[in-house]
Amino acid sequence: MPARLIDGTAIGDRLRAELQAEIRALRERGITPGLAAVLVGDNPASATYVRMKGKACEDAGLYHETIRLPRDTSETELLALVDRLNADPKIHGILVQLPLPTQIHTQRVLQRVAPCKDVDGFHPENVGKVFVGDPTGFRPATPYGVQQLLVRSDIDTTGRHAVIVGRSTVVGRPMAALLLQDGPGGNATVTVCHSRTRDIKSVTRQADILIVAMGKPEFVTGDMIKPGAAVIDVGTNRVQDPTTKTGYRLVGDVKFAEAQQVAGAITPVPGGVGPMTITMLLCNTVQAARQCRTA
């Protein structure tokens, strides 16, 4: 029997609807949560993502600004912009879209964002808060979204073996921290696999919950999955396909057709984790407005 599909679009829509009550409450106090997105250069994928974030803000009733800078922008110029946004009371959340051009030191820019406006959760202060379970810290949007997918799909994590494939600071490591915490979507036993893991198949087959964020198209095949496991595919990859109008198709890091025949529940690509990432960014922006000193 094919695995149950975990619909990230539907779950994200429900979360956004729930968020409206808090947005209205803040507006009654004269506060409109505001998000600024900074895009340096003309990376098509980044531009699409920033545009989607702007549309999501409009739909949710949030104030937003999208600031586009040329590719040859200097690090000094970008840092000055971040300083201005840090001081702007209309802006509660700042998002600097990655990747940045090579002349800019990424960590220097991310650490310049005020921790109270770091809705991406990349500042060391927020990384530390998430690691120790401080609820005032901003959880990175993608792992936060994965956790919500599990909770709202009635996939119990308590005492389960969760295996994460990928150790990036954007997904893998914060995902492990969230799954280890005490509370809904936590209390799991966590293993993190990466490119140096030996016999990775023997590890992934132990997973009750398998979260794949490797960045490699269809890396996880059906024989790497424990029967009945919940599979969360974080990857979004373009692969050539001359039969389509665009000449490519989107696939995840999991070979979906094979995995669906083995897993108990699985996220599709697209329509799984992707919609949740933008939803959780909105949640973080509202949280930032709520925690703002002037709020």
Catalytic entry in 97, 181, 260, 287 = 97
Q: Is 107 a catalytic residue?
A: no
CB burial of 84-97 (b: ≥16 within 10 Å; e: otherwise) equals ebbeeeebbbbbbb
Q: Is 129 a catalytic residue?
A: no
Provide the token pair at 256: 């979906």
Largest Cα span, the chain: 57
Residues 6+ apart with CB under 8 A from 218: 251, 252, 253, 254, 255, 256
DSSP annotation of 117: G
- Burial-class residue 36 by CB neighbours within 10 Å (0-12, 13-18, 19+): buried
Quick check: 234 and 217 in contact, CB under 8 A? no
| Alpha-carbon distance values, 277 to 103, 146, 251 (Å) | 28, 8, 17
Amino acid making up residue 208:
D
Catalytic entry in 53, 129, 226, 255 = 53
Nearest by Cα to 282 from 182, 148, 186: 148
> For residue 65, which phi and psi values (nearest 5 degrees)?
-130, 140
- 94: region left, alpha or beta (phi > 0 left; psi from -120 to 50 alpha): beta
Residue 230 CA to residue 227 CA, distance in Å, equals: 9
Q: Is 120 a catalytic residue?
A: yes
Catalytic entry in 117, 118, 120, 233 = 120
Provide the token pair at 292: 């703002």
- Burial-class residue 65 by CB neighbours within 10 Å (0-12, 13-18, 19+): middle
Angle (CA) 249-251-255 rounded to 5° is 135
Active site residues: 53, 97, 120
